[in-house]
Homo-oligomer: A and B are copies of this chain.
């Protein structure tokens, strides 16, 4: 086993992409690939690839390249892709509902067990087979049902209070789609998602294409 603690978060953030590429190659029956070919495929420099993969002992061999199956299984292990996470969605607006229907969540082991909202029109109904509860029931629900991750997709002014509430219940991670870079003083891992950040980068690249 490699010492997983030594891998920096910057490298970890790049691993899902390697994971997806290697999964495709593995599925296609490809057995090995050079850092040069992987570099062309992924649009990353070969030296970046060698540096990243060396971090966890994914050494390529000169003139042979990387063994795809073993690299894929190593990265899968580091990312813990076979782990299962019990997940709830808080806020069933457009983003929350889209995520409730997003097939990749359950495919990746994120099992949506409950949805919470304050809109009386949808409480008691099901979204993609998952029951919608009033947000008041959050603490009671989590006390009874082990919950690893909460997906937060609520308006700005409700974000912090809800994050504090789920952290207090012992939820381990928060996937935050609310328009706020959330940092709270509690024992919970927070991943903030800002869709428009990537859109602003696209806008920049369009304006500076030359």
Residue positions of A touching B, CB distance < 8 A: 4-5, 9, 12-13, 15-17, 19-21, 42-43, 78-81, 83, 85, 93-95, 97-98, 101-102, 104-105, 108-110, 148-149, 172-173, 175, 179, 181, 183, 189, 191, 193-209
Tell me which residues across on chain B come within 8 A of A110, comparing CB atoms. Answer: 199, 203
The reply to whether B94 and A101 form a contact with Cβ atoms under 8 Å apart is yes
- Nearest B residue to A16 by beta-carbon distance? B197
Task: Write out the residue numbers on chain B whose beta carbons fall within 8 Å of the beta carbon of A196.
Answer: 16, 104-105, 108
Min CB gap A27→B, angstroms? 12
Are A149 and B181 in contact (CB-based, < 8 A)? no
Interface of A is mostly: helix
CB neighbours of A104 from chain B (8 A):
179, 195-196
Question: Contacts A95-B98, A102-B94, A108-B200 hold; do A205 and B191 have CB atoms under 8 A apart?
Answer: yes
**B201, A13: Cβ atoms under 8 Å?**
yes
What CA separation (Å) do A134 and B95 show in the bound complex? 24
Contacts of A19 in B (CB 8 A): 200
In the assembly, what is the distance between CA of A83 and CA of B200, in Å? 10
Rounded to whole angstroms, the CA-CA distance of A45 and B14 in the bound complex is 20
Assess the B98–A200 pair: CB atoms within 8 A: no
Query: Are B173's CB and A203's CB within 8 A?
Result: yes
Task: Kindly provide the distance from the CB of A98 to the nearest chain B CB, expressed in whole angstroms.
Answer: 3
Q: A102: nearest residue on chain B (CB-CB)? A: B94
